[in-house]
Amino acid sequence: MQAIRLMIQPSSIARNNCPLSLPVSGEPGARYWLSTGGLRLPVQTAGNELWCLFPELTAGETVTATLEQREGEHPHRVSVEESEDRIVIYTDGKLFTAYIKAGNPARPCFYPLRGPSGVSVTRHWPMRHDVPGETNDHVHHRSMWIAFGDVNGVDNWSEEPGHGYTLHRQTLTTYSGYVCGGFETLSDWTDSQGKKLLEQHLKVRVFPLPEEEHLVDVEVTLTATEGDVRFGDTKEGGILSVRVASSMDVPRGGRIENSEGGINEPQTWGKRAHWCDYSGLVEGIPVGIAIMQHPSSFRHPAWWHVRDYGLMTVNPFGLAAFTQGQEHGDYTLPHGESLRWRFRVCIHRGNATEGKVAQRWNDFVNPPVVEVAD
């Protein structure tokens, strides 16, 4: 590849440690660098995409950069390793999370989710039973997971008798790198007897930020491979869900905040919002986790099933409960068609303001414009 000049325009919003997708196809295994002024940033191929993490962009100031293919090692900040029952992601040599794909009672989950100073922003129970002070309600709230409570009448949310399953079928790819790392999987949603209801295609990409903060891009596509699929109107479920560490629960001093300025359950439960954040203290460390939904997602902005006791989930179907019966959210997905959701999970220091959640939301939905210069 010959050197390519790029123009990076952050718009009217200042950017800080912002993931950039470059408008150039890369070659697997090739090493690229992006240079501007005194900066020389590693660029990573992920599939045929090129990604870099830009440390700082001033609002309104266009940056000219040069993309070059050069030899030279890019030390892996993100390492992804697969074993029989899990896909483990390490960042800067430390465990960040594991996608536990087999051995769970009902469905895969992400556990733990390491935050700043090494604390987990999600609850350890029921994966562990030796953490003092943790709550032990809702056994199906396993750290971070994907599920819904009424799929052709099947409960693929709880672990009650007769529940449905999400069964990992295939890992399509895993990749490691300096800028990001991730994986893609295929899974089957089934009824309690193992009859397939639909197919799930999951894409996960992790960006490590400074000070042990992380961004996790999660794309969920559900396809009606076996016939029409009806998603029922129930608050019991979401698409992407987290159960925060018990010390972050609102009664213990935690805080819920959404993009519309709502605070805690009375102002956020059943409300539509672009993002929702849960923050508090874990082992004395102020940390938080936000889920952001991309506008390309089905029924964006969706409604939030978020509770003071520690649950936070995006629910695009449970309108009857959220609107006191004024609206209904059931939806039938025709055979052969798909629904897609894109999320960015931000694990940060402090509360939503200190964690720059609103800025991260803009980075996700309105990223800087990167163009090849004439």
**137-188 pLDDT, tens per residue?**
999 999 999 999 999 999 999 999 999 999 999 999 999 999 999 999 999 9
Q: What share of the chain is helix, strand, coil (3-state, %, to 5)?
A: 10, 50, 40
pLDDT of residue 137: 97
Q: Is 312 exposed, middle or buried (0-12, 13-18, 19+ CB in 10 A)?
A: buried
Sign of CA dihedral 110, 116, 118, 123: negative
Q: Are strands 165-175 and 154-156 parallel, antiparallel or unpaired?
A: unpaired
User: 67 in helix, strand or coil?
Assistant: strand
| CATH code of domain 78-364 | 2.70.98
Q: Is 169 exposed, middle or buried (0-12, 13-18, 19+ CB in 10 A)?
A: middle
pLDDT of residue 72: 66
Please say if the pLDDT value at position 20 is more than 70: yes
CATH architecture of 4-74: Sandwich (2.60)
pLDDT of residue 76: 78
Please say if the pLDDT value at position 74 is more than 70: no
Please say if the pLDDT value at position 229 is more than 90: yes
Sign of CA dihedral 79, 110, 308, 133: negative
CB-based contacts of 46, cutoff 8 Å, min separation 6? 175, 177, 179, 180, 182, 205
Question: Do 279 and 255 meet the contact criterion of CB atoms below 8 Å apart?
Answer: yes
Question: What is the DSSP-derived secondary structure letter of residue 248?
Answer: G
pLDDT of residue 38: 84
Confidence tier at 249 by pLDDT (50, 70, 90):
very high
What average pLDDT does this structure show over 73-89?
91
Please say if the pLDDT value at position 202 is more than 90: yes
What amino acid occupies position 210? P
pLDDT of residue 48: 78
Average pLDDT over all residues of the chain? 95
What average pLDDT does this structure show over 246-251?
98
What average pLDDT does this structure show over 238-252?
97
CA distances from 238 to 119, 252, 288 (A): 25, 24, 20
What distance in Å separates the CA atoms of residue 371 and residue 67, rounded to the nearest whole number?
Answer: 12
pLDDT of residue 69: 87
Indicate the domain borders of the chain: 4-74, 78-364
pLDDT of residue 73: 67
Question: What is the DSSP-derived secondary structure letter of residue 334?
Answer: P
| Residue where the block lists tokens 């935690």 | 254
Give ∠ CA 12-17-22 in degrees, rounded to 5.
80
Per cent of the chain over pLDDT 70 is 98
What distance in Å separates the CA atoms of residue 271 and residue 189, rounded to the nearest whole number?
Answer: 28
Dihedrals phi, psi of 365, to nearest 5 degrees:
-100, -20
Virtual CA dihedral for 295, 34, 72, 176, nearest 10 degrees?
A: 0
Per cent of the chain over pLDDT 90 is 91
Please say if the pLDDT value at position 75 is more than 90: no
Report pLDDT digits (tens) over 303-361: 999 999 999 999 999 999 999 999 999 999 999 999 999 999 999 999 999 999 999 99
Report pLDDT digits (tens) over 257-280: 999 999 999 999 999 999 999 999
What distance in Å separates the CA atoms of residue 159 and residue 85, rounded to the nearest whole number?
Answer: 20
Confidence tier at 237 by pLDDT (50, 70, 90):
very high
Confidence tier at 136 by pLDDT (50, 70, 90):
very high
pLDDT of residue 30: 80
Beta-bridged to residue 312, according to DSSP, are: 242, 306
Residue 115 CA to chain centroid, in angstroms? 14
Which residue, 52, 5, 22, 17, is CA-closest to 369? 22
